[in-house]
Every structure is written in structure tokens, then in C-alpha cells.
Chains A and B, each alone.
Chain A
Amino acid sequence: GESVGLHLPTLSVQEGDNSIINCAYSNSASDYFIWYKQESGKGPQFIIDIRSNMDKRQGQRVTVLLNKTVKHLSLQIAATQPGDSAVYFCAEGGGATNKLIFGTGTLLAVQP
């Protein structure tokens, strides 16, 4: 069946360092991928997305990389700040009904 999984459940980084959160997906037919940030007690917050016809997309302090050959997605956060501490989810979509399939999440802990 379809699944999206994360390599690392917890990532601890020092403030100011760069963070890399990884994600593997299994459905090669997926053509749309999104990263969400979820803080405790809140709903997922859209960070950045990428379509399968791209390898890289940059936002403000964030970059998403897509490697379709090995079905791997990553989120890079530059100069990580304490406010970046949260659980990060990757999700895949692009099916006929737009439903998103989420991974289990990676907890990013930023040490001051």
C-alpha cells in the first residue's frame, strides 16, 4: 500500500546550525509533496511544497529537495532558531481526489 515514512523520529540541533529532515515515500505515482510544521496543540502549518517536475525549491530559510530516483524528500532549514522547534511532517499527494498521505513526523529540537 501507499506509505510515507521518515528516517529519523527525533533531530536535535544547536541554534544557528542547519537542519536536514528526511522523508521516504513509496508511491512513485505521487507528483506533489508538502512539508508541514506542527507545534504542540496546533494544526499543521504549511512550509513549502514541490512538484515532481522539480528537484529543488527554495523558500525563506527553507529548501526542499526531491530525488525521484530513490523516492526521497528532504527539508533543509538554514540557521535553525528556537522557534523552529516542532514536529515536521512530509506528505505526498497528487491523486485524483487530492488526499494527502502523511508520514509519522520528525521532532526537531533546537538547543540554545
Chain B
Amino acid sequence: NAGVMQNPRHLVRRRGQEARLRCSPMKGHSHVYWYRQLPEEGLKFMVYLQKENIIDESGMPKERFSAEFPKEGPSILRIQQVVRGDSAAYFCASSPPTSGETQYFGPGTRLLVL
């Protein structure tokens, strides 16, 4: 069984560009979560989505950040007009509908903003 997949694994952007991070949940999982991890820190919750719905986006910055989980295809975390402070590792997790708390993580996308 394939685990949570994320791509790209590494992404380099210049200030002002857009970053798109993709996440494919584990087979059978319908809940997706995005977390951000700064160096030497723990993961911080950003957003929780189910298919075509944003359930909780309380951890996501109000500007420049958006997330979606369409009916078909992967979940997308989009960062517009990136700044150096956006440099971090972004992790996606998924869970099955029957056990929401047990989240399984992908390998992450390391975003570097020059």
C-alpha cells in the first residue's frame, strides 16, 4: 500500500513567485491535513480538508495561502507571492473517515525561498 505522497520533495522559489505543493492521501483516506515545520521546531497545524470542503483553516495565514482538496486529484497547498519567511517543510497527513485523529504523514515538501 502506498503511503501519503507529496510532490515535489524540494521546491525553490524566488520572492514573489507562487508555490504549489501537492498531496495524495493514502488509499481509502478522505481527510487531509497540512502542517508547517520550521527548522528545529515542531509541526504547526495549518488546514484540515475533506473532499471539496475546508473543515478547519484556523492555522493558515489569511493572506497568500490557500488550500483545496478537489473531488478528483490531489490536495493542493498554494502559496502566492512567496517571501523568505515561507521557507519551511510542509507536511501533509491523511486519515480514514472512521478514525480522524490517527494521521499518517507524507515525506514533506521542503520549500526554499531565495
A residues apposed to B, CB below 8 Å:
4, 32, 34, 36, 42-46, 49, 89, 91, 93-94, 97-105
Is residue B74 within 8 Å, beta carbon to beta carbon, of the partner chain? Answer: no
Residues of B within 8 A of A (CB): 4, 6, 31, 33, 35, 40-45, 48, 55-56, 58-59, 91, 95, 100-108
A43–B93 alpha-carbon span in the complex (Å): 9
Chain B residues in 8 Å Cβ range of A98 = 31, 33, 48, 56, 95, 100-101, 103
A99 CA / B95 CA spacing, docked (Å)? 11
Given contacts A98-B31, A98-B101, contact A103 B91 (CB under 8 A): no
Give the chain A neighbours of B45 by CB distance below 8 A: 99-101
Cβ 8 A contact of A102, one of B6, B44, B104: B44
Report if A105-B42 is in contact (Cβ < 8 Å); known contacts: A34-B101, A43-B105, A43-B107.
Answer: yes
User: Which B residues lie within 8 Å of A49 (CB)?
Assistant: 101-102
A/B interface sample: 6 pairs, CB < 8 A? A4-B42, A42-B107, A98-B31, A99-B33, A100-B33, A102-B43
